[in-house]
């Protein structure tokens, strides 16, 4: 099948590559010539495991191409995926300008029946706006009543985890498709053919109306964000009452009605989805005269949780950090990605720098993106920027630092050389935002260890003392 993907960001590029991998003829278009140049020269503008290999195979087979030519892209695909960004507006609502611009281009250059697929995460009602934008362009061309240029707008939200997106796409647990317009039968048949290879073992496609499909994506991310904030909120109480949040997690996660996924306490969620999708759903509720009180609390908890490690540092080392240097392991919002959007590291580093500290930071894959992001974050604080050092290895970050702060749970941080760590740090102190280690083990090693929602165990020659 001939497929057009509008947008070569995270969702668009993974979608296009995976659809080309199973044999489709895919045309990816983007208004950013830099991205297209990278892709046309064999590069990949994002970090996602498995994606470079698929792109190399599909490029070599001639099943995927990249261009900035909007007209050719519209003419190419019978199915047009809109996979552009929907960043939060000032009030938290999703900004649909890029979605609607893509829709207008489809109407402007449409050369036959098209299925327009909203792949971007969009609020309920977006399909109606997309339909209207396309119809207006067709009418401007005098084709408003043309049977040949009819179209159907479909909602097909993505459920891709960064760091595992290729596997999620190729082995989906569900495929949600919303169709309810008058040309829905034609659209349904095309979508059935497109996703047929993913349904051979058993049917994974859930058909529903468009509004429900749009809502489903937001509801899914809101639920996962709620689980994270729930555990983070409990973790702070656990510390106060002397409980261990890791033991609590195991205790409640063993209940099959609850499960273990997204129950890890930490220093707050980030990324491209949870923060903006929770905000957008809260704003949609407000616009419709309703309050999503649970999700408002989810946002508040997550905002405060990003300061928890800083508060622990201040309590241990004082408010004035002018003569302190901190090693920071992990900058991306999660492992297996270079995504720095809403990453906890940004808030933590900014807070430490504002108190006069020096930060030596390392991430296995996000260094280039971190350099770009911190330059923007600290553009108005040149003195703070001078005290931020992005270094080449985790060991280099430790050298001469007063303490280690762990922000992202990369595998290479899970079993470090603790002997080297102690010798490299001025004082053997770890502030762990991801609970990678056991407090008792750290005490035995003589490391002053502060985790999230876990007891602080002081080393004693005769016994460990929990404080």
Instruction: Tell me which of 3.40.50.720, 3.20.20.140, 3.90.420.10, 3.40.630.10 is the CATH number of domain 2-208.
Output: 3.40.50.720
The reported pLDDT for the residue numbered 458 is 80
CATH number 1.10.10.10 is the correct assignment for the domain at 218-303: no
Residue 461 above 60 pLDDT?
Answer: no
- 2-208 and 218-303 agree in CATH topology: no
**Catalytic site includes residue 28:** no
Average pLDDT over residues 288-302: 97
Fold (topology level) of 306-466: Rossmann fold (3.40.50)
- Tens digit of pLDDT for each residue in 65-93? 999 999 999 999 999 999 999 888 877 88
- The pTM (predicted TM-score) of the whole model is 0.92
Residue 103 above 90 pLDDT?
Answer: yes
Residues of the chain with pLDDT > 70, as a percent, come to 98
Inter-CA distances, 177 with 5, 81, 158, 161, 236, Å: 17, 13, 10, 19, 40
- Tens digit of pLDDT for each residue in 338-395? 999 999 999 999 999 999 999 999 999 999 999 999 999 999 999 999 999 999 999 9
Residue 445 above 70 pLDDT?
Answer: yes
Confidence of residue 182 (pLDDT cuts 50, 70, 90): confident
Residue 214 above 70 pLDDT?
Answer: yes
> Active site residue: 18, 267, 273, 322, which one?
273
Residues of the chain with pLDDT > 90, as a percent, come to 91
The reported pLDDT for the residue numbered 465 is 56
Residue 302 above 90 pLDDT?
Answer: yes
- Tens digit of pLDDT for each residue in 322-338? 999 999 999 999 999 99
Residue 464 above 60 pLDDT?
Answer: no
Tell which wins on pLDDT, 181 or 29. 29
Residue 301 above 90 pLDDT?
Answer: yes
The reported pLDDT for the residue numbered 13 is 97
The reported pLDDT for the residue numbered 144 is 79
Cα gap 344→308, rounded to integer Å: 10
Q: What residues does each domain of the chain span?
A: 2-208, 218-303, 306-466
Q: Which of 142-156, 203-217, 258-272, 421-435 has the lowest mean pLDDT?
A: 142-156
């Amino acid at each position: 099948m001939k497929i057009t993907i509008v947008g070569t960001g995270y969702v668009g590029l993974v979608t296009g590559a995976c659809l080309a991998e199973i044999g489709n003829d895919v045309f990816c278009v983007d208004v950013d010539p830099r991205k297209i140049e990278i892709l046309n020269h064999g590069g990949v503008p994002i970090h996602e495991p498995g994606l470079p290999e698929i792109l190399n195979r599909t490029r070599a087979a001639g099943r995927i191409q990249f261009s900035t030519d909007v007209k050719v892209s519209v003419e190419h695909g019978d199915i047009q995926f809109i996979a552009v960004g929907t960043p939060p507006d000032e009030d938290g609502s999703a900004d649909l300008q890029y979605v609607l611009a893509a829709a207008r281009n489809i109407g402007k250059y449409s050369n036959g029946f098209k299925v327009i697929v909203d792949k971007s995460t969009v609020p309920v009602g977006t399909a109606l706006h997309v339909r209207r934008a396309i119809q207006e362009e067709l009418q401007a061309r005098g084709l408003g009543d043309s049977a040949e240029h009819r179209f159907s707008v479909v909602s097909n939200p993505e459920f891709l985890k960064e760091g595992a997106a290729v596997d999620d796409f190729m082995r989906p647990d569900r495929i949600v498709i919303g169709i309810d317009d008058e040309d829905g039968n034609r659209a349904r048949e095309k979508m059935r053919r497109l996703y047929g290879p993913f349904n051979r073992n058993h049917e994974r496609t859930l058909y529903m109306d468009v509004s429900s499909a749009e809502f489903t994506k937001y509801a899914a991310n809101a639920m996962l964000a709620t689980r994270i904030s729930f555990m983070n909120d409990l973790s702070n109480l656990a510390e106060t009452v002397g409980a261990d949040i890791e033991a609590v997690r195991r205790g409640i996660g063993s209940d099959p009605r609850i499960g273990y996924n997204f129950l890890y306490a930490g220093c707050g969620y980030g990324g491209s989805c949870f923060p903006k999708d929770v905000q957008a759903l809260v704003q949609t509720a407000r616009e419709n005269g309703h309050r999503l009180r649970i999700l408002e609390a989810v946002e508040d908890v997550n905002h405060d949780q990003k300061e928890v490690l800083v508060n622990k540092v201040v309590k241990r080392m004082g408010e004035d950090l002018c003569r302190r240097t901190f090693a920071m392991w992990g900058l991306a919002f999660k492992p297996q990605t270079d995504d720095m959007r809403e990453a906890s590291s940004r808030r933590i580093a900014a807070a430490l720098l504002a108190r006069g500290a020096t930060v030596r930071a390392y991430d296995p894959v996000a260094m280039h993106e971190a350099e770009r992001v911190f330059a923007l974050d600290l553009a108005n604080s040149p003195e703070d920027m001078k005290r931020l050092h992005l270094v080449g290895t985790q060991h280099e970050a430790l050298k001469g630092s007063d303490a280690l702060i762990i922000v992202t749970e990369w595998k290479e941080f899970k079993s470090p050389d603790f002997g080297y760590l102690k010798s490299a740090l001025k004082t053997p102190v770890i502030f762990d935002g991801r609970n990678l280690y056991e407090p008792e083990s750290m005490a035995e090693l003589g490391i002053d260890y502060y985790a999230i929602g876990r007891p602080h165990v002081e080393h004693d020659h005769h016994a460990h003392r929990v404080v």
